[in-house]
A and B are shown apart, each in its own frame.
Chain A
């Protein structure tokens, strides 16, 4: 069991996620046991359909395991209620996605404010928190713009600001550079690395780009066919 002052931010114990597709059982994640230390930058590397995103969603509390346990900050996500999982996603973790997932009808400012609304942060405090997050990703001047008016890199930076605004301790990134050109992808990875250094955020990133993973992540875990195939250190 993980304790509160444990060095391990995340730990899974034989976690599995299976899907029944007709008569076929898909073992998307199969008996995976992995640990992530506090402040670590872990890259889950794997090809398409390897199960890395499914594993990430289990760690992020968006999905529930078929079996096994997922301990984050000492709490087992597998036994949490739906409401507790929602609170966990709101207060403990932040998420960025490959396709940014900004709400197109809202301005950047409003998109970034959304997690604060969900976490019921006081209205008077919100403006400063939003400004701080947008400053961090150098988008203060685009605060009033809608996502459609921004480049892909800017949208992903806005998504990062949205993930940061509730000051989570863990950041989950699902193919954050997947929709970006290499230069912009490096820019985003640089920001992730920066967040990992200060304020020492634990980062778990899913990617299929080995080069980026090796350059920026502290450790790489290779996922193949729902299992961990390797657990090497990054550059």
Chain B
């Protein structure tokens, strides 16, 4: 029998015992809804965690440093130490040329003093590249991101903003003064006077020129353009609690003194600018490992938090598995309902099966007919169950957010039904229904047509 005829006959048969088949289908729907609701919670929590991690900027970043030839104790027969490749402008350009790399940025963060309404606040300032605008950390911020890479603007972290004003939103558009310690090159006179103390054997010291800088106080006016709820992290272990962000280009131009400046003094003069470290932004977290490996091949030390992320994925997979198993219990009960309904249908339609066989239906046709009926119940039940599961998930989210709002906390989306879950649940319901149909279908196919025709 052709598939279209099989489908028509199956639907007709299901319509004949509408109440019983509807109840069986509803049973499947409830089973699938339980499964979908459970998994939607797992997926929702996973998505929520992932989005928070992604907004931290750590999981699509590789942190690069020059290789450190640290040797506290000389080993007998050890190979001579090779000079590490400098992390300079040329290296930065090379890294930025790598596939899937968005950009490579120096980490600039320094201690400073901010004055607002003539009141001084000691704090930390960090430079942010313009590309961070899209990494999710600034979604939902008050105000806006920097208008340009060289804009004299600042974004405040909400906790710091609350220190400045009880109404943080009122800070937008206001000016603040950044006072900082800037590096100034030593004058020629100072260099000549200190030349005698230069160690000619130190790296980069072959020119005989003194390496150093003087520190002078400077200040810069900045306009507050945004207030962010999250804690954007511009680099590895650096900016976690940074209260103030300014454009990276502006931060570089300030030449504010940083801890790494001391190391630069010791290493001596270099032809090009050298970086203590770079943060490499990658297009997506899935490319991080590849980019990290390429940077290591270039001769630098590179780190990422991908492995931590992978452990987290494993944890959520296990959570989904457990939720799925509990959710499947209701579906297992519904499966028994399908078996029961189809076995009842065989008893009721025994004579009809005999007629079908007398008219030329093969055993396989009868089997497929019962499979089709089981499949339709699974398919319809699955689709209804996904809708019901989605609804339950929305209700859970609504209830959770109602509670969170009462606690003064921001709302979260605790459930999600992505397309793969919806399709997977329907396919699973279909598969389970077909398995449930195996016994009844086989039993119907094996009916002796003569006995079936004599059945009253």
Category for how many chain B residues contact A: 20 to 34
Interface residues as binary, B346-370 with A (CB distance below 8 Å gives 1, 0 otherwise): 0000011011111111111100000
Cβ contact within 8 Å between A162 and B359: yes
Smallest Cβ-Cβ distance to B9: which chain A residue: A117
Cβ contact within 8 Å between A62 and B359: no
Cβ contact within 8 Å between A82 and B358: no
Smallest Cβ-Cβ distance to B349: which chain A residue: A103
Question: Taking the complex as formed, is A120 at the interface, i.e. its CB lies under 8 A from any CB of chain B?
Answer: yes
Question: Taking the complex as formed, is B151 at the interface, i.e. its CB lies under 8 A from any CB of chain A?
Answer: no
**Smallest Cβ distance from B161 to chain A, in angstroms?**
72
Cβ contact within 8 Å between B352 and A115: no
Smallest Cβ-Cβ distance to B454: which chain A residue: A53
Cβ contact within 8 Å between A62 and B358: yes
A103 interface neighbour in B1, B355, B362, Cβ under 8 Å: B355
Cβ contact within 8 Å between B364 and A89: no
Smallest Cβ-Cβ distance to A91: which chain B residue: B360
Question: Taking the complex as formed, is A105 at the interface, i.e. its CB lies under 8 A from any CB of chain B?
Answer: yes
Identify which of B357, B359, B360, B362 gathers the most chain A CB atoms within 10 Å of its CB. Answer: B360
What is the CA–CA distance of A201 and B433 in the complex, to the nearest angstrom? 45
Residues of B within 8 A of A89 (CB): 357-360
**Smallest Cβ distance from B360 to chain A, in angstroms?**
2
Question: Taking the complex as formed, is B86 at the interface, i.e. its CB lies under 8 A from any CB of chain A?
Answer: no
**Smallest Cβ distance from B37 to chain A, in angstroms?**
37
- Contact residues of B between 1 and 56, Cβ < 8 Å to A: 1-2, 4-5, 9, 12, 16
Cβ contact within 8 Å between B364 and A87: no
Question: Taking the complex as formed, is B136 at the interface, i.e. its CB lies under 8 A from any CB of chain A?
Answer: no
Residues of B within 8 A of A62 (CB): 357-358, 449-450, 453
Cβ contact within 8 Å between A87 and B355: no
Smallest Cβ-Cβ distance to B15: which chain A residue: A105
What is the CA–CA distance of A106 and B359 in the complex, to the nearest angstrom? 15
Cβ contact within 8 Å between A101 and B355: yes
Residues of A within 8 A of B450 (CB): 57, 62-63
**Smallest Cβ distance from B358 to chain A, in angstroms?**
5
Residues of B within 8 A of A117 (CB): 1-2, 5, 9
**Smallest Cβ distance from B12 to chain A, in angstroms?**
7
- Contact residues of B between 354 and 402, Cβ < 8 Å to A: 354-365
Given contacts A86-B365, A105-B12, A118-B356, 9 further A-B contacts (CB under 8 A): A62-B450, A63-B450, A86-B362, A89-B358, A90-B359, A97-B358, A117-B9, A118-B1, A166-B360
Residues in chain B within 8 A of chain A (CB atoms)? 1-2, 4-5, 9, 12, 16, 351-352, 354-365, 448-450, 453
